[in-house]
Amino acid sequence: MTNYRTEVDSMGEVQVPANAYYSAQTQRAVENFPISGWQLPVPLIRGMGRVKLACAKANNDLGKLTGTGKNPLSIDQVKAMYSACQDVIDGKMDGEFPVDVFQTGSGTSSNMNINEVISNRAIERMGGDRFSKSKPIHPNDHVNMGQSTNDTFPTAIHVATACEIHNTLIPQLEKLHRTMRDKAVQWDKIIKIGRTHLMDATPLRLGQEFGAFARQIELSLDRARVAAKAVYELPVGGTAVGSGINTHPEFGGRVAADLVQQTGIPFVEAVDHFEANAQRDGLVECHGQVKTIAMSLFNIANNIRWLGSGPRCGFYEVILPDRQPGSSIMPGKVNPVMCESMMQLTARVMGNDTTMTLCGATGGNFQLNIMMPIMGHAMLESIALLSNGINAFIEFCMDGLEANPEACEAAVEQSLSMVTSLNPHIGYEKAAKLTKEAFASGKTIRELCIEQNVLPKETLDAALDPFSMTEPQA
């Protein structure tokens, strides 16, 4: 047996791997784009399967697939199409999508890839020969009926993006928020020194510091929901340029409604199909929110890394779990590897945002954006990186993170910014003079005040109580 079979398309014969479910147009794309080895993200393949299933159902309900048009299908053939689409959604056909991400800018190669796979899989489910030149369930006439790559491919990106935000990113952010909030409550009584400009500042509680992290994640959750909302409008129904040529007026609305049933996400038909086909502003907006989430996570991981620095010559106010040896030359050294991992992956997400912005700004020419495959890849990569990174950060860093109360409290009394609470009693100028004297002498503010009898002991003790400095005072 040969390892290849001969397939034919409008440009002639093509040699296709013998057992592949895809056909000629997919193989041409494989040969034309030997670029990166990056294939479409799995969530996007599943999203395409969902869109094709919704389109098939809409066409069938509108009497298009089994009607009086060219090559009508039987009910059994329609059901076979449904099953083939479901096979894609369920991941049974993941190995059948070999086209490189850096392909035709509309995603036509990938759209024809899935059309061919569904066609051949449906023929096989009917007991037919999927290798025959005759295609009783045709990739263009039936699987792609009422569609263009220009409206269905961006629809699939929107569907995949919203699903991944709802099903992976939001749950991980919720879990991280709970973890941060619990640490904030647990450590609420631990006093430590604040730092601004990397310099000593007034005291705060370790719980307040982690409460701020918890609030960042709470706001990140809000941003994730806004991000998903930015892609709820679906271009499907616009076909080639937004006019809806070769499709039914109800098609886009019916497809959107079916996708709501499939996913539970409130997708809607685009308000203006010409805008929805031509521009990817919603995706750029969506990724902008995701980029902001990444920025917050970078900041939190970096702060925790600094707080855990040491163990003897740094802050060491929190104790990070030991995950692995940190040096090939320094025995016993342990590094904040989970923080560093988070910082690297969030940097990648921020880089992806530049890609998204450039593609959105320059790729939308007239009636079509021609940078969609890489936009889909960047969008879904960012969501996956954040979701997986948060999960690992919780399990391997946050869950085992411990406070070091001794290190936190040891530095408080030494801080020159303790003098701040004396401002209402002695004024800014005298307090500044005390600070300089304390620094020059090596004494604490308290020691110097006692030595110079600056305030009565009871007043001084109340003013220099570190806990009272962590809250407003009437």
Can you give the CATH number for the domain in which 85 is found?
1.10.275.10
Q: How far apart are CA 86 and CA 126, in angstroms?
A: 15
DSSP SS3 for 6: strand
Least confident stretch, 60-74, 96-110, 273-287, 354-368: 60-74
Same domain, yes or no: 401 and 436: no
Chosen domain end from 102, 121, 145 = 145
The answer to the question of residue 235 being in a domain is: yes
Residue 68 in this model has a pLDDT that exceeds 80? no
Residue 2 in this model has a pLDDT that exceeds 80? no
Same domain, yes or no: 122 and 159: no
Chosen domain end from 406, 435, 455 = 406
Q: How far apart are CA 103 and CA 36, in angstroms?
A: 10
Same domain, yes or no: 345 and 456: no
Same domain, yes or no: 155 and 140: no
Residue 196: strand pairing partners: 199
Least confident stretch, 36-50, 123-137, 302-316: 123-137
Residue 1 in this model has a pLDDT that exceeds 50? no
pLDDT at 145: 97
Q: How far apart are CA 372 and CA 284, in angstroms?
A: 11
Q: pLDDT band at residue 160, thresholds of 50, 70 and 90? A: very high
Least confident stretch, 133-137, 163-167, 253-257: 133-137
Residue 357 in this model has a pLDDT that exceeds 70? yes
Percent of the chain with pLDDT over 70: 100
Count of C-beta atoms within a 10 Å radius of residue 184: 20
Tell me what the mean pLDDT of segment 288-297 comes to: 98
Contact 47, 163 (CB under 8 A): yes
CA distances from 9 to 15, 43, 89, 194, 446 (A): 11, 28, 26, 69, 87
The answer to the question of residue 224 being in a domain is: yes
Catalytic annotation present for 197:
yes
Tell me what the mean pLDDT of segment 12-17 comes to: 95
Same domain, yes or no: 160 and 276: yes
Domain that holds residue 180: 151-406
Which of the following is catalytic: 36, 327, 441, 468?
Answer: 327
Among 425, 423, 372, 383, smallest CA distance to 172 is for: 383
pLDDT at 132: 80
The pair of structure tokens assigned to 450 is 């006692």
Average pLDDT over the chain reads 96
Contact 297, 386 (CB under 8 A): yes
The answer to the question of residue 474 being in a domain is: no
Same domain, yes or no: 204 and 348: yes
CATH number, domain containing residue 293: 1.20.200.10
Dihedral sign for Cα 393, 394, 396, 401, please: positive
Catalytic annotation present for 387:
no
Residue 362 or 156, more confident: 156
Same domain, yes or no: 156 and 129: no
The answer to the question of residue 309 being in a domain is: yes
Tell me what the mean pLDDT of segment 390-396 comes to: 98
pLDDT at 315: 96
Same domain, yes or no: 188 and 123: no
Same domain, yes or no: 352 and 229: yes
Split into its structural domains, the chain has a count of 3
Chosen domain end from 121, 145, 169 = 145
Q: Cis peptide before 311, with omega less than 30 degrees from 0?
A: yes
Same domain, yes or no: 242 and 376: yes
The pair of structure tokens assigned to 133 is 């030149």
Same domain, yes or no: 341 and 464: no
Q: How far apart are CA 191 and CA 67, in angstroms?
A: 75
Contact 146, 243 (CB under 8 A): no
Tell me what the mean pLDDT of segment 198-223 comes to: 97
Which of the following is catalytic: 10, 134, 197, 328?
Answer: 197
List of residues 6+ apart from 252 with CB closer than 8 A: 234, 236, 237, 238, 244, 269, 270, 273
Residue 194 in this model has a pLDDT that exceeds 90? yes
Same domain, yes or no: 196 and 263: yes
The answer to the question of residue 371 being in a domain is: yes
pLDDT at 364: 84
